[in-house]
Amino acid sequence: MKKFFSVLLASALAVGMLSGCGGEKKDAAKSDVIKVGVFLPLTGDNAAGGELELRGIKLANKMHPEVLGKKVELVVADNKSDKAEAASVAARLIEKDKVKVIIGTYGSSLAMAAGNIVKENKVPAIGTSCTNPQVTANNDYYFRACFIDPFQGTVMANYAFKNGAKKVAIIQEVSNDYAVGLAKFFKEAFVKLTGSPDSIIEVANYQTGDKDFSAILTNIKAKNPDVIFAPGNFTESALLIKQARQLGLTVPFLGGDTWETQEFIDVGGKDVEGASLSTAFDREKASTAEAKKFLDAYVKEYKGEPSALTALAYDAYLIAIDGIKRAGTATDSVKIRDAIAQTKDLEAVTGKTTLDKNGDAIKAAVIKTVKDGKFKYTDFVDVK
Amino acid sequence: MEFFEAFVNMSGGSFAQHMVNGISLGSLYAMIAIGYTMVYGILLMINFAHGDIVMMACYFTFFGISVFHIPWYLTFILVIITTALLGVVIERAAYRPLRDAPKNSVLISAIGASFLLENLANYLFSGRPLRFPNIEVLSQNLSLGSVQIQAISLFIPVVTIVCLMILLHIVNNTKIGMSMRAVSKDYEIARVMGINIDNVISITFAIGSALAAIGAIMWGIRYPGITPMLGVMPGLKCFIAAVIGGVGNIKGAVLGGFILGLGEIIIVAFFPQLSGYRDAFAFIVLIVILFYKPTGLLGEKTTEKV
Amino acid sequence: MAKKRNLILTVILLAGLFGLAWYINFETDSYLRRIVNLCMVYAIIGLSMNLTNGFTGQFSLGQAGFMAIGAYAVGIFTVPVSLRPSVFYAAPMHPAIADIHMPLWLALIVGGLCAALVAFLIGAPVLRLRGDYLAVATLGFSEIIRIVITNAQTITNGALGIKDIPPLNDVRYIFAFTAAVFIFITALINTSYGRAFKAIREDEIAAEAMGIDLFKHKSLAFMLSAFFAGIGGGLYAALLGTVDPKNFLFTLTYNFLLIIVLGGMGSITGSMIGSILVTAGLEFLRIFDEPLELFGVAIPLFRPGFRMVIFSVLLMALVLFWRRGIMGTREFTWDKTIAFCKNPFGIFGRKGVDKA
């Protein structure tokens, strides 16, 4: 019996040592690449957005494959548009894949679910298009390449005011965090600009999935607004605008960057002509050298027009690489975090990028309007 | 107080517009509620998948007109037939094997069927919305003074009433209608009397689903965005409409549909600040009505047999 | 003698499982920890649903709503007061609750009690209904709860959700709650209340004739179910660290429906087995969402969305072909296990003997 145990023990030790050696060897072999975690919804409800962003990150990796003389390797993980999954995937990237910086994600609630994980493990994450202010609030380890909901609301308020609107009605998708955020800051900014709280004549609510908006629209029509601000999902928004036109409500509609999809135009048809939205990127406004490179590469790789999401994801990768470069290390995640926090005037696709004290990118917004079934650049708003 | 204010401030034009909106929505609900009530009347089970049959019919119409370019009137007929078949298939696959099982099992199977249709549609057609084909004749706008009416909104109540008439005629005056009534009274006895129960149930499902298809076409023209989850809320609300009216009673379903449709519009019209709670309205009405009249407004009182 | 032996065996098993929880907590990666935690939280909610649907025979679909109440209690009361202004950035928190802070265990109990209170209030109109009506009415209430949460901006932060809930990823903590709920429900089922529940399930009219107060017992089962669902929901929120109303759509209830149908309606150990199989199974099914190549050929079936198709087919197949689930209304017992170990083939000979 004793003999049996000693053999067992010895073999266990041997196996342990072998595997230990194997592990070390592997690490040694891998140390000449820098692993960057990519954390996106590639399946589930948000898959379409995640796919567009993955394009941007892959493209950026192709254009900037090296930092500190080492090759950058992307470790792509799918958070499946699911909050519980997002938390486990982020943990897996950090613990199993040992990444020192993470890029992603589309969808603020997914980013928030991962927020605690990156904070606990002290690994910096750079959000691509998660616009909810809570993503970076109270979290020194979450940054983002996009602007935030309050900014977008403020931009649209300025745009409406600039174009002579005096009375605005707001129709918000009350079950959507994004829409509620935009509406709230639109209201504040617009009241400030006009100096009169009566300038917002109505705030109406609907739920995600609603189809019939005739009652709220009839109410609003009776109050004669100059313009309607209606942030929300593109499906509901397109139906909303259709019904407004059908009820003889002809005033312009303003919304947010979620509208910038082909489906918005497909469902809305000629009724959404003239609807305006704010977004982060337009090729006509692309001023930086990096943007030119990005556009050329995009056309070569995927054809067609790149979406703002792709551009933002590209920028998130640039911020990460720039951080590693300035930190001078690819292994100390805290140093990388500190370097990323100092990002200033980085040449990126969506303009020169600076991160503020919350870790949010400060940048200008582009206004686009639907014209002849296409999103056309109309204005440029920079709010300080 | 607020109600009073809103009422005084409302112009005649707005009020008329609200009424038009409410009647149009109410008759849509009524149309779909009839399908629920027919199935419930015979099988005493909620066909949870009914709302999803509506959704499938919307996709069928999309494929007929926008993909295969079949003229719309032909497509409508084809869609009604296909949807009726779908209803029969669902009954065969999900409900028939459970005919003698406890009611809860049938209910779970119905939930499963509904969930399966939604996930299947999501998988096959993707979750991105499609545009319901535009049919110029039906979607054009008519103005009556300051009131705007879509042509389809005039058709919907008419179609609903016509369907109601035809259905009442079938149920009351035909042989198959008599079999349906016999099965709904007591299907053991009906079987003894030589009625082919399986056929009667299949025909009921076919008729119920055909009505769902008609409802779906009108729904699509009125609200032209198609998504896999399209049928969920209308399905629940129309079931509620059927229960309010007294489940199993066809006239009750129509009544319930109108109460719900008009009620939803009126609550937003007079209490604009409650617009966020609109979807809760149907459930609250359901619970209030069940509390005071457990068999619905027009339902018959039944006694439980031991 | 046998009773004493069984008690000892149960204590040993629980201690062993707690040891396992300890091991998982310190020796495994956080991915496995999350799955195990989720399993246990689902088990609590599955048990709570089984209490009404399985034991009392009242088909309720309100679990998502009760979970939401518990989850929001944890969300509202455990977020540190200093972080609240940044969480409630759109509209400040209502002053009445803005300064109330609770430890997690207290918030869980408060959430459970709130859920039970709501269950008590809605029980009066709803529990008079039967079968399908009850199902739709409870489903309706769970939707009403969600809509109210969405609109109550200053209390729940509306659609913006609550984040910065102190994270809980301690397997032992959740294990302790799961074990407590398990022990409580097992004990409850063996009291006169439990027997009354089962009598109501089997035949309401006969039960009433036997002098069982139908409404009192249904209401009690409903409240207890809501209480545990509230605690489960609270743990779920603490596990995720964030809550928002969209988590609690009524389709969430379907997960627990599958758990109790698979495990067996009216079986406590069945619900435990069901929750493990469903949670692990849903993870496993994820391979169907990813493109699969077999011998260099991409199989076109495998793409996002396929997993949920399989999930719903499984739910239906289960009801159609295996209505009683794994355990039916039977339970795992030591007596049967020991009998089985002594004579593994005997079980085939006496089918139906061990019916509960």
pLDDT tens digits along C152-207: 888 998 888 888 888 887 888 999 999 999 999 999 999 999 999 999 998 888 99
Segment A58-84 mean pLDDT: 88
Closest CA to B200 of B64, B91, B291: B91
- Subunit contact C309:B276, Cβ cutoff 8 A: no
B14 close to A (CB below 8 A): yes
- Of A279, A303, A336, the one marking the end of a domain is A279
Q: How far is CA B76 from CA A200, A384, B70, B132, C310, in A?
A: 44, 56, 10, 13, 31
Q: How many CA atoms lie within 13 A of C310 on its CB side?
A: 17
Shared domain check, A174 and A131: no
Shared domain check, A108 and A88: yes
Shared domain check, A122 and A171: no
Distance CA C237, CA C243 (A): 6
Q: Which domain holds residue A260?
A: 150-279
- Of A245, A279, A313, the one marking the end of a domain is A279
Q: State both tokens at C288.
A: 């169907």
Strand residue runs (E) in chain A: 33-40, 66-67, 70-78, 102-103, 125-127, 142-144, 168-173, 200-206, 227-229, 253-255, 276-279, 346-348, 351-355, 361-362, 365-371, 374-381
* A-interface mutation test, from B268, B270, B277, most A Cβ less than 10 A away: B268
Chain B residues with CB-CB distance to C142 below 8 A:
none
Shared domain check, A110 and A167: no
DSSP string, A89-129: HHHHHHHTS--S-EE--SSHHHHHHHHHHHHHHT--EEESS
Closest CA to B177 of B38, B297, B47: B38
Distance CA A103, CA A76 (A): 10
Chain A residues with CB-CB distance to B228 below 8 A:
none
Shared domain check, A328 and A246: no
pLDDT tens digits along C75-96: 999 999 888 888 888 788 888 8
Distance CA C201, CA C55 (A): 7
Shared domain check, A221 and A202: yes
A5-19, A93-107, A311-325, range with the lowest pLDDT: A5-19
C235 close to B (CB below 8 A): no
Residue C351, pLDDT score: 44
Whether residue A102 is predicted with pLDDT greater than 90 in this model: the reply is yes
Distance CA B112, CA B94 (A): 9
Shared domain check, A143 and A154: no
Segment A101-119 mean pLDDT: 89
With respect to residue A138, please indicate whether it lies within any of the assigned structural domains: yes
Question: Could you tell me which chain A residue has the CA closest to the CA of B28?
Answer: A212
Query: Mean pLDDT per 10-residue run, chain B (306 residues)?
Result: 57 84 92 87 83 95 92 94 96 88 84 91 84 84 82 88 91 90 84 88 92 93 89 89 86 92 92 86 86 80 52
A255-259, A272-276, A367-371, C289-293, range with the lowest pLDDT: C289-293
With respect to residue A382, please indicate whether it lies within any of the assigned structural domains: no
Residue A218, pLDDT score: 92
- Subunit contact B105:C144, Cβ cutoff 8 A: no
Residue B205, pLDDT score: 92
Please name every residue paired with A353 in a beta bridge, in sequence order, or none if there are none.
Answer: A346
Q: How far is CA C97 from CA A314, C66, C111, in A?
A: 43, 20, 14
- Subunit contact B286:C136, Cβ cutoff 8 A: yes
Segment C48-68 mean pLDDT: 93
The Cβ of residue C31 has, within 10 Å, a number of other Cβ atoms equal to 17
Q: State both tokens at C183.
A: 């022990």
Tell how far CA C188 is from the center of its chain: 17
Segment A300-317 mean pLDDT: 89
With respect to residue A383, please indicate whether it lies within any of the assigned structural domains: no
The 3-state DSSP class for residue C330 equals coil
Residue C350, pLDDT score: 47
- Subunit contact C309:B120, Cβ cutoff 8 A: yes
Distance CA A109, CA A122 (A): 20
Show which subunits contact B, needing at least 3 CB pairs below 8 angstroms.
Answer: A, C
Could you report the predicted ipTM of this complex, rounded to two decimals? Answer: 0.86
Distance CA B208, CA C285 (A): 35
Residue A49, pLDDT score: 84
pLDDT mean across residues, chain A? 85
| Domain count for chain A | 2
- Of A212, A245, A279, the one marking the end of a domain is A279
This prediction's pTM: 0.85
- Subunit contact C312:B46, Cβ cutoff 8 A: no
Which one of B14, B150, B268 has the shortest CB-CB distance to A216?
B268
Closest CA to A291 of A311, A275, A272: A311
Map out the domains of chain C with their CATH numbers: 31-349 (1.10.3470)
With respect to residue A6, please indicate whether it lies within any of the assigned structural domains: no
Shared domain check, A162 and A272: yes
Residue A14, pLDDT score: 43
DSSP string, C268-321: HHHHHHHHHHHHHHHHHGGGGGS-EEETTEEETT-STTHHHHHHHHHHHHHHHH
The Cβ of residue A303 has, within 10 Å, a number of other Cβ atoms equal to 7
Domain ranges of chain B: 35-230, 246-306
pLDDT range class, residue C295, cuts 50, 70, 90 = low
More confident residue, C232 or A288: C232
With respect to residue A126, please indicate whether it lies within any of the assigned structural domains: yes
Residue B245 near residue B296 (C-beta atoms within 8 A) = yes
Residue C125, pLDDT score: 82
With respect to residue A20, please indicate whether it lies within any of the assigned structural domains: no
- Subunit contact C159:A134, Cβ cutoff 8 A: no
pLDDT range class, residue C315, cuts 50, 70, 90 = confident
Residue A110 near residue A81 (C-beta atoms within 8 A) = yes
Q: State both tokens at C295.
A: 């011998």
Residue A358 sits in a domain whose CATH number is 3.40.50.2300
- Subunit contact A181:C90, Cβ cutoff 8 A: yes
pLDDT range class, residue C325, cuts 50, 70, 90 = confident
Shared domain check, A104 and A141: yes
Chain C residues with CB-CB distance to B236 below 8 A:
136, 139-140, 143
* B-interface mutation test, from A42, A214, A258, most B Cβ less than 10 A away: A214
Segment A141-162 mean pLDDT: 91
- Subunit contact B276:A205, Cβ cutoff 8 A: yes
Distance CA A267, CA A234 (A): 9
Distance CA C302, CA B101 (A): 35
Whether residue C144 is predicted with pLDDT greater than 60 in this model: the reply is yes
B89 close to C (CB below 8 A): no
Distance from CA of C41 to the nearest CA of A (A): 12
Residue A27, pLDDT score: 45
Size (chain A), residues: 384
Shared domain check, A98 and A45: yes
